[in-house]
Structure 1
Amino acid sequence: MAALVLLVPFLTAAPPAFAAPEDGPRVTACAAADAPQGPRLQVTVTGARRVAGNATITLYGPRPEHFLASRAYLARQRIPLRATSAEACFALAAPGTYAIAVYHDENDDHDFNRTLIGMPAEGYGFSNDAPTVTGLPAFADVRFTVPPGESRMTIRLRY
């Protein structure tokens, strides 16, 4: 139980839909008019316990110190749940190393909610389906390489 309490800081801020650090590559939704011409990353989130709210998918770049840091992400998409799974597409400026954190914002309040004792009240997951047995996963466990062209990543929500 103490291990999951470490998820308390996970995605607590509600920054704008897309925010990029000055030193990070440009990333947008694939459907954006100004989407970069680089690789496309299709992300599927599965395992929502109910059809409500949205799946909030946050993409981070190659710097371990930016992973889960407030406003240090490259892009974020909030996909309304119409089924127990959701999909998002990210247009990337270049191939490279990335990481993803996702949560099921069941009440659509743009906050990762927790119980009174600090346990996650909403589903969450990470790229590579990295385990969270002893707290937040290490960046080495969530990072993955996006090659040129199209890539896919599936993340299963945990509750």
Structure 2
Amino acid sequence: MILPKWRTALALLLGLMIAPQGTLVLMAHAAPSCIGPASETWINITVDRVRNSKGLITATLYPNDSKRFLVKNGSLYVASTPATAGQTRFCLFVPHPGTYAIAIYHDEDSSGTINRGGLFGIPSEAVGFSNNPTIFLGPPSLRSTLVKVEHPNQSITINVKKF
């Protein structure tokens, strides 16, 4: 009886040791609702003021680099989760402990892009940022949106607003 359990444990151990880096899916600490490329560091996000359950809540993770903030192809990655009216809660993987900015929008039509309207291209879908900076006549600065992720399982709340 001990031999089969021992062989199973050995096979599992060897499999983990020889698997290519990045393919390990067994995450002992991570919440099952985490989105984004898997890592050992994540942040729990509550998106508050979600108008309805249509579409997706889309999170964009930016590095602490002002040249990459809110520019095309500047993000580390974009990930989405189904919207829930009122509050949408999810877990977002980050590559490693560090300082990041997170932009959120409610993609009500699930188009994969933020809809814009009007003369100035103002978003027509609800948006929000980490640290909930005041948004007035333009996007917030990177500095006002930075959040330090020092360890797994930290939590933040981001309020979304439709303009």
* Category of TM-score, reference length = shorter chain: 0.7 to 0.9
Q: 1:31 to 1:102 in 2, by over 3 A?
A: closer
TM-score by structure 2 length?
A: 0.71
Residue 55 of structure 2 contacts residue 109 of structure 2 at CA under 8 Å; is this kept in 1? yes
- Mapping of 1:79-118 within 5 angstroms? 79-117=81-119, 118=121
Match of 2:151 among 129, 148, 155: 148
Could you say what the CA RMSD is over the residues aligned between the two structures, in angstroms? Answer: 2.0
Structure 2: which 5+ residue stretches go unaligned? 1-32
- Asked if the contact 2:52/2:84 (under 8 Å) is kept, the reply is no
Bigger share in helix: 2
Task: State the secondary structure of the residue aligned to 1:129.
Answer: coil
Q: Which is bigger in relative contact order (C-alpha 8 A, separation at least 6)?
A: 1
Unmatched 5+ residue regions in structure 1? 1-28
TM-score (norm 1): 0.73
Aligned to 2:140: 137
Tell me how far apart the structure 2 counterparts of residues 30 and 81 of structure 1 sit (CA, whole Å): 14
Distance verdict in 2 for CA 1:36–1:138, change over 3 Å: same
Whole-angstrom CA distance in 2 between matches of 1:149 and 1:115: 38
Provide the C-alpha distance between the structure 2 equivalents of 1:148 and 1:82, rounded to a whole number of angstroms: 27
Alignment of 1:68-87 (within 5 A): 68-87=70-89
Q: CA deviation at 1:31?
A: 6.5
Pairwise CA distance, 1:87? 2.2
2:128 maps to a residue whose letter is G
Identity of aligned residues (%): 32
1:125 aligns with 2:128: yes
Instruction: Rate the CA distance shift 1:106–1:31 in 2: closer, same or farther, 3 A.
Output: closer
**Greater Cα radius of gyration, structure 1 or 2:** 2
Check 1:45–1:113 CA distance in 2 against 1; reply closer, same or farther (3 A cut).
Answer: same
1:45 corresponds in structure 2 to: 47
Deviations 1:74-114 (CA, angstroms, capped at 9, x unpaired): 12211111333222322333211100011111111112112
* 3-state DSSP of counterpart to 1:111: coil
> SS of the counterpart of 2:86?
coil
Helix, strand or coil for the counterpart of 1:47? strand
| Greater share of residues in strand | 2
Does the Cα contact within 8 Å between 2:35 and 2:80 map onto a contact in 1?
Answer: no
Find the counterpart in structure 2 of residue 54 from structure 1: 56
CA distance in 1: counterparts of 2:145 and 2:130, whole angstroms: 5
